[in-house]
Amino acid sequence: MSAEPMLQVDDLAGGYGDTAILHGVDLQVQSGGATALLGGNGAGKTTLMKTLAGLLPVRRGRIRFLGEDISRLDCDKRVLAGLVLVPEGRMVFPSLTVQENLRLGAINPRARVHWHSTLEQVYHVFPRLKERHTQHALTLSGGEQQMLAIGRGMMAMPRLMLLDEPTLGLSPLMAQHIFGLVHTMVEGGLTLLLAEQDVRKALQASNHAYVLENGRVVIQGGASEVASDPRVQSAYLGL
């Protein structure tokens, strides 16, 4: 058995056009459980996730996933390999129904053949989506749209889900509910990289954590170790 982590990111640089945002990120995600990606607004969390997902080019460095170098693979090939982004801002198709949105998540050939049984699993985790399966996505609340975005990600049968700011803009009660669902998915065996601005909740949900600042990893370690780091306590936990 190989001891290689599920995701191994070495010296990753990237950004938008001429604008460099990531300046040599080193990061690992082990199989099973959640890894938190923390940092304030503009730290580079979304840019990192988009680069991992293949939506932005790798300028330097390397991304290995399940033992393969995927740095130059197209986004859909990464999804096929099991690396699935649930983007910030939900991005559901408003004029499609809940079930149509979910079905689109299973468009990759590996997931397509199983779409019906995966749909049952998604409806089991998100009964609210089952209740509303014929409704257009635009009629859903923000929290329900977030559930739909996560459910659509699950439909792709991810081995690693990149979950970008799932609680952004939600009420505290709905955010709590989403964290509960995250917990359920991890218990069910999903591996997660979770970007969050709610540092306290993210650390509670994770085994390991990275803190990004200005496109660089400034702190990393076990979740409890990071939670007790004085820099994290003063900058993010208000202690």
Ligand X SMILES: Nc1ncnc2c1ncn2[C@@H]1O[C@H](COP(=O)(O)OP(=O)(O)O)[C@@H](O)[C@H]1O
Please report whether residue 46 would count as binding Mg ion according to CB under 5 A: yes
With CB cut-offs between 5 and 8 Å by kind, which of Mg ion, ligand X, none does residue 47 bind?
ligand X
With CB cut-offs between 5 and 8 Å by kind, which of ligand X, Mg ion, none does residue 102 bind?
none
For the CB of residue 85, give the shortest distance to ligand X in the complex, in Å: 13
Which residues lie across from 97 on neighbouring strands?
136
Give the range of 14-22, 135-143, 178-186, 216-224 binding ligand X by CB under 6 A: 14-22
For the CB of residue 15, give the shortest distance to ligand X in the complex, in Å: 7
Q: List CB contacts of 198: < 8 A, sequence separation 6 or more.
A: 167, 175
Touching ligand X, residues 32-91 (CB under 6 A): 39, 41-47
**How many chain residues touch ligand X (CB under 6 A)?**
11
Which residues lie across from 210 on neighbouring strands?
37, 220
Give the range of 3-11, 16-24, 65-73, 138-146 binding ligand X by CB under 6 A: 16-24
- What's the longest Cα–Cα distance across the chain? 50
**Which CB sits closer to Mg ion, 144 or 165?**
165
**Which CB sits closer to Mg ion, 162 or 203?**
162
Touching ligand X, residues 121-180 (CB under 6 A): none
Length of the chain: 239
Touching Mg ion, residues 74-103 (CB under 5 A): 88
Question: Both tokens of residue 33?
Answer: 């459980």
Report the distance separating Cα 35 and Cα 160, nearest Å: 11
Question: Both tokens of residue 35?
Answer: 């890894």
Touching ligand X, residues 20-39 (CB under 6 A): 21, 39
For the CB of residue 80, give the shortest distance to Mg ion in the complex, in Å: 25
Buried b (16+ CB within 10 A) or exposed e, 15-39: beeeeebbbebebbbeeebbbbbbb
- Find out whether 167 and 199 touch, Cβ atoms under 8 Å: no
Give the range of 39-47, 100-108, 130-138, 154-162 binding Mg ion by CB under 5 A: 39-47
Report the distance separating Cα 49 and Cα 233, nearest Å: 25
Residue 204 CB coordination number (10 Å): 15
Residue ranges binding ligand X (CB under 6 A): 16, 19, 21, 39, 41-47
